[in-house]
């Protein structure tokens, strides 16, 4: 006896939704209004950080610096330009520094003019200098303060030109940029998607239903993020996934159910029966697909970075609300519309104007996808080998991937905070604003500071005993760098902190014999520690994701071969996508076609993990839709090749349409001004299209042809287990359709 009666459950739910359709639709409208009102502006509430593990050494160092010394790394700065030379405007520079120091919530202010004229705080040509400061409070408070300070200080002051920069200025501008990006992406995606849906369905009424479910998913996810923000940190970057995945999955799931409903009406069923059959068949497939996607995204919760956790919150919420929309709201809407779902066929006037005949309904063996499957299965080795070689070649650049943490260069070149940071990189001798604080749990002798200053990649070391460059004391020390038994040092690097050079520097600093236990903080240490944290959790996340997917596909098919095939093909598809992303975003090819993002020679260290979980789930989405029809046909006929060809024909056109619509939604985010949102949008779109064409159209039929009946093999104990608890669909007692079905 089966305990997984998803088909029966959905079939029983259908009459309830038909009978209570008006109530369901009224509640849906109320929910849309509530979710839009409370969550519509969620991007303004969320945080732009979350790229570090709060338990890693660099974060512990930052906490110790605050606790023991009442200070911390500089997170805000002013870039001051004086064409006559900064040494000639000492009075104005000092006045600017004092003014900033007098602001509430601003601490540890120092500048070129008040810190003893260090060379690292002055540009090489002597026309620019910096004022460093630390904004207190939570990250959200600091971002708000950075916005207020930029409004007050950017411009001119006593003949000086002033521009804001630093960590929290970047965060502030990222938040503002994402809000604009979402509006722009939706203004592109929704109208174009509506047009494509009309082309798919013909009927404007039918085309409007997937958009309704998509918007319900987006607004529901926004509401979830709004609520979660009251309990935990949530990254503003997750709003992009909420929009794209919510709209995309809502449309995908609705596309399958609406198509099946219209088929059932054509086959002579009345409206209640059509709703029931659509829920029992397409609805069950949608339910299972949603579970696989949600599990893939939930794997991100394993990681300690709230940036990744936030994408899990957004992604799982988008899946849940898309599922509710597709399995609750949509059936009620279909029951209310009935035969009217086919009205307003906008293709008819076009055909009349062009004097075209209505398309002829083709038999299954006449369809394009049936012919593709048959052609591939005639030469499975040749076709499969060719596609695998292509995917491996495209994925080859990933072998040279370089990782870094996101910084100001995620912003466009025109952003003020980005231009300030780029000026510091290009025209200042050191990396004063990226100094690495070192906390020593005991006295720090001069010999330790001298040794650190000799390390390759170090510009200067500040300590209680003095300021050192290349082992030489060049200025007096800073007495406040000793508090009780603890002492601190500040290491100013002269290498790029957000990349391999910064990581190597941290390794060399940690290798210097210390007089007592040492904690190292700062950007370079954050990158090193973050990569370590991700590597530590990655096996667990992958293990959970792969195991859950394998188990679910086994329960769905009763086979252990098909789940292994699905996992291998998904990894192959994703490797090709990763290779393309390295080729474009790390190596800088064809960037002019996607808005010319800043190429840093590295990818954000979290991006492959994020993309793997998102894309793995979406790949399994289409795998489930295809397997559901292959399995159904195989159970009826026992003919493996026939089942593959018929299954691909019945799903190929619809899966391709769904993939095109989903890819379009993600491609709209290539218009984003944030570089790794571009990366996520382009990478996801490419992966979805590759998966729906090369993988489903070539590799799946080639593999299943080669394996033959072995596709459905499982050890005897597992076959018995599947017979008891499997997810296989019970066949309808009604006569099967004589028309080709799409779902």
pLDDT band for position 205 (cuts 50, 70, 90): confident
The CA–CA distances, whole Å, from 691 to 615, 640, 642 equal 10, 22, 22
Q: Please state which of the ranges 40-44, 419-423, 516-520, 560-564 shows the lowest mean pLDDT.
A: 40-44
Q: Please state which of the ranges 53-57, 82-86, 431-435, 706-710 shows the lowest mean pLDDT.
A: 431-435
pLDDT (0 to 100) of residue 196: 83
* Residue 194 located in a structural domain: no
- 348 and 489 share one domain: no
CATH number at residue 21: 1.20.1640.10
Question: How far is residue 103's CA from residue 142's CA, in Å, rounded to a whole number?
Answer: 13
Question: How far is residue 637's CA from residue 631's CA, in Å, rounded to a whole number?
Answer: 10
pLDDT tens-digit map of 488-524: 999 999 888 888 888 999 999 999 999 999 999 988 8
Q: Please state which of the ranges 189-203, 252-266, 725-739 shows the lowest mean pLDDT.
A: 725-739
| 268-286 mean pLDDT | 88
Of 87, 108, 84, whose CA–CA distance to 97 is shortest? 108
| 18-22 mean pLDDT | 92
pLDDT (0 to 100) of residue 350: 61
* Residue 67 located in a structural domain: no
Element (DSSP H or E) covering residue 222: helix 204-229
Of 426, 408, 403, whose CA–CA distance to 586 is shortest? 403
Instruction: Please determine, for residue 735, whether its predicted confidence score (pLDDT) is greater than 50.
Output: no
* Residue 464 located in a structural domain: yes
* Residue 430 located in a structural domain: yes
Instruction: Please determine, for residue 709, whether its predicted confidence score (pLDDT) is greater than 90.
Output: no
Question: How far is residue 619's CA from residue 297's CA, in Å, rounded to a whole number?
Answer: 12
Instruction: List own/partner pairs for 563-571 with CB under 8 A and 24 or more apart.
Output: 565/700, 565/703, 565/704, 565/707, 565/711, 566/620, 566/623, 569/695, 569/699, 569/700, 569/703, 570/615, 570/616, 570/619, 570/620, 570/623, 570/691, 570/695
Query: Which two structure tokens, joined as six digits, stand for 101?
Result: 């120091």
Sign of the Cα pseudo-torsion (454, 458, 459, 464, in order): negative
Relative to beta strand 466-469, strand 155-157 is: unpaired
The answer to whether 7 and 730 are in contact (CB under 8 A) is: yes
Q: Of 469 and 655, which is predicted with more confidence?
A: 469
Question: How far is residue 113's CA from residue 153's CA, in Å, rounded to a whole number?
Answer: 18
| 128-154 mean pLDDT | 90
- 102 and 162 share one domain: yes
Element (DSSP H or E) covering residue 404: strand 403-404
- 311 and 250 share one domain: yes
* Residue 198 located in a structural domain: no
The answer for residues whose C-beta is within 8 angstroms of residue 414's C-beta and 6 or more apart is none
* Residue 185 located in a structural domain: no
The answer to whether 705 and 644 are in contact (CB under 8 A) is: yes
Based on the structure, what is the number of domains in the chain? 4
Q: Cα 496 to the chain's mean position, in Å?
A: 26
Phi first, then psi, for residue 161 (nearest 5°) are -100, 125
pLDDT (0 to 100) of residue 101: 94
pLDDT (0 to 100) of residue 360: 55
Question: How far is residue 8's CA from residue 680's CA, in Å, rounded to a whole number?
Answer: 38
Q: Of 727 and 565, which is predicted with more confidence?
A: 565
- 391 and 486 share one domain: no
Query: Which two structure tokens, joined as six digits, stand for 591?
Result: 């960037």
pLDDT (0 to 100) of residue 460: 92
Q: What is the mean pLDDT of the chain?
A: 87
The answer to whether 35 and 28 are in contact (CB under 8 A) is: no
Q: Of 149 and 650, which is predicted with more confidence?
A: 149
Relative to beta strand 106-111, strand 436-440 is: unpaired
Give the whole-number percent of the chain exceeding pLDDT 90: 41
Q: Please state which of the ranges 15-29, 276-290, 484-498, 616-630 shows the lowest mean pLDDT.
A: 616-630
Instruction: Please determine, for residue 674, whether its predicted confidence score (pLDDT) is greater than 80.
Output: yes
pLDDT (0 to 100) of residue 347: 64
Q: Of 83 and 198, which is predicted with more confidence?
A: 83
* Residue 581 located in a structural domain: yes
Question: How far is residue 683's CA from residue 473's CA, in Å, rounded to a whole number?
Answer: 51
- 716 and 576 share one domain: yes
- 280 and 370 share one domain: no
Q: What is the 3-state secondary structure (H, E, C) of 27-64?
A: HHHHHHHHHHHHHCCHHHCCECCCCCCCCCHHHHHHHH
Q: Which domain holds residue 94?
A: 74-171
- 504 and 587 share one domain: no
DSSP-assigned beta bridge partners for residue 394: none
Question: How far is residue 653's CA from residue 200's CA, in Å, rounded to a whole number?
Answer: 10
The answer to whether 114 and 146 are in contact (CB under 8 A) is: no
pLDDT tens-digit map of 533-567: 999 999 999 999 889 888 888 888 888 999 999 88
Instruction: Please determine, for residue 414, whether its predicted confidence score (pLDDT) is greater than 70.
Output: yes
Please give the full DSSP string across 682-737, using - where no structure is assigned.
Answer: HHHHHHHHHIIIIIIIIIHHHHHHHHGGGGG---HHHHHHHHHH--PPPPPSSPPP
| 114-123 mean pLDDT | 88
pLDDT (0 to 100) of residue 357: 62
- 143 and 278 share one domain: no
- 646 and 709 share one domain: yes
- 591 and 623 share one domain: yes
pLDDT band for position 3 (cuts 50, 70, 90): very low
| 194-216 mean pLDDT | 85
pLDDT tens-digit map of 626-648: 888 888 788 888 888 888 988 88
* Residue 533 located in a structural domain: no
Q: Is 341 helix (H, G, I), strand (E, B) or coil?
A: helix
| 161-170 mean pLDDT | 92
| 461-480 mean pLDDT | 92
Instruction: Please determine, for residue 268, whether its predicted confidence score (pLDDT) is greater than 50.
Output: yes
The CA–CA distances, whole Å, from 172 to 45, 53, 298 equal 11, 21, 28
Instruction: Please determine, for residue 4, whether its predicted confidence score (pLDDT) is greater than 60.
Output: no
Question: How far is residue 527's CA from residue 517's CA, in Å, rounded to a whole number?
Answer: 21
pLDDT (0 to 100) of residue 223: 95
- 141 and 105 share one domain: yes
| 164-179 mean pLDDT | 88
Q: Give 431's DSSP letter.
A: -
Q: Give 363's DSSP letter.
A: P
Instruction: Please determine, for residue 68, whether its predicted confidence score (pLDDT) is greater than 90.
Output: no
DSSP-assigned beta bridge partners for residue 72: none
pLDDT tens-digit map of 712-724: 898 988 888 877 7
Instruction: Please determine, for residue 280, whether its predicted confidence score (pLDDT) is greater than 70.
Output: yes
- 459 and 335 share one domain: no
């Amino acid at each position: 006896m089966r305990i997984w009666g998803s088909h029966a459950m959905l079939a029983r739910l259908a009459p309830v939704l038909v009978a209570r359709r008006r109530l369901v639709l009224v509640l849906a409208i109320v929910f849309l209004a509530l979710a839009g009102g409370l969550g519509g502006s969620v991007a303004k509430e969320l945080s732009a950080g979350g790229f570090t593990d709060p338990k890693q050494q660099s974060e512990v160092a930052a906490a110790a610096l605050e606790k023991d010394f009442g200070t911390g790394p500089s997170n805000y700065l002013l870039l001051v330009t004086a064409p006559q030379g900064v040494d000639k405007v000492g009075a104005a520079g000092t006045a600017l520094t004092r003014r900033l120091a007098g602001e509430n919530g601003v601490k540890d202010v120092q500048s070129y003019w008040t810190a003893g004229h260090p060379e690292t705080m002055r540009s090489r040509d002597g026309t620019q200098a910096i004022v460093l400061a630390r904004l207190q409070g939570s990250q959200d408070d600091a971002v708000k303060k950075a916005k207020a300070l930029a409004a007050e200080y950017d411009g001119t002051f006593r003949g000086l030109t002033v521009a804001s920069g630093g960590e929290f200025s970047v965060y502030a501008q990222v938040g503002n940029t994402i809000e604009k990006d979402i509006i722009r992406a939706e203004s592109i995606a929704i109208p174009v998607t509506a047009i494509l849906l009309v082309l798919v369905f013909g009927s404007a009424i039918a085309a409007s239903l997937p958009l309704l479910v998509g918007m319900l998913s987006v607004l529901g996810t926004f509401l979830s993020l709004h609520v979660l923000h009251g309990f935990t940190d949530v990254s503003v970057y997750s709003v992009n996934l909420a929009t794209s995945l919510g709209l995309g999955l809502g449309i995908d799931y609705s596309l399958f159910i609406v198509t099946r409903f219209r088929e059932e009406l054509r086959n002579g069923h009345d409206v209640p029966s059509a709703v029931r059959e659509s829920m029992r068949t397409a609805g069950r497939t949608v339910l299972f697909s949603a579970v696989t996607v949600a599990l893939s995204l939930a794997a991100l919760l394993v990681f300690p970075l709230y940036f990744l956790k936030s994408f899990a919150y957004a992604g799982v919420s988008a899946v849940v609300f898309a599922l509710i929309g597709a399995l609750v709201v949509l059936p009620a809407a279909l029951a209310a519309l009935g035969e009217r779902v086919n009205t307003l066929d906008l293709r008819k006037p076009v055909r009349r104007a062009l004097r075209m005949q209505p398309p002829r309904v083709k038999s299954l063996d006449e369809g394009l996808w049936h012919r593709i499957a048959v052609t591939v299965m005639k030469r499975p080795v040749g076709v499969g080998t060719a596609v695998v070689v292509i995917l491996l070649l495209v994925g080859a650049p990933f072998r040279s991937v370089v990782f870094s943490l996101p910084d100001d260069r995620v912003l466009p070149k025109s952003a003020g905070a980005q231009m300030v940071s780029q000026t510091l990189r290009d025209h200042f001798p050191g990396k004063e604003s990226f100094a690495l604080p070192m906390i020593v749990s005991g006295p720090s002798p001069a010999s330790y500071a001298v040794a650190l200053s000799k390390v390759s990649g170090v510009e200067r070391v500040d300590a209680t005993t003095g300021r050192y460059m290349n082992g030489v004391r060049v200025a007096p020390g800073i007495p406040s760098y000793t508090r009780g038994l603890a002492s601190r040092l500040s290491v100013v690097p002269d290498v790029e902190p957000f990349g391999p050079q910064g990581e190597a520097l941290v390794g060399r600093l940690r290798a210097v014999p210390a007089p007592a236990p040492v904690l190292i903080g700062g950007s370079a240490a954050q990158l090193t520690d973050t990569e370590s944290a991700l590597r530590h959790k990655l096996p667990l996340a992958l293990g959970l994701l792969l195991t859950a997917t394998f188990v679910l596909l086994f329960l769905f098919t009763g086979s252990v071969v098909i789940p292994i095939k699905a996992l291998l093909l998904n990894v192959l598809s994703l490797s090709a996508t990763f290779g393309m992303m390295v080729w474009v975003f790390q190596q800088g090819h064809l960037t002019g076609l996607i808005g010319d993002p800043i190429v840093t020679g590295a990818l954000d260290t979290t991006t492959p993990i994020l993309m793997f979980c998102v894309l793995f789930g979406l790949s399994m989405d289409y795998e489930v839709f295809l397997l559901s029809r292959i399995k159904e046909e195989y159970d009826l006929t026992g003919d493996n090749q026939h089942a593959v060809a018929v299954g691909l024909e019945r799903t190929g056109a619809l899966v391709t349409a769904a993939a095109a619509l989903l890819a379009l939604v993600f491609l709209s985010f290539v218009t984003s001004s944030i570089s790794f949102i571009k990366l996520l949008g382009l990478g996801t779109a490419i992966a979805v299209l590759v998966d729906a064409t090369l993988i489903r159209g070539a590799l799946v039929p080639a593999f299943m042809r080669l394996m033959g009946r072995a596709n459905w093999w499982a050890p005897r104990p597992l076959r018995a287990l599947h017979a008891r608890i499997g997810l296989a669909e019970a066949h309808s007692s009604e006569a099967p359709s004589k028309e080709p079905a799409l779902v």
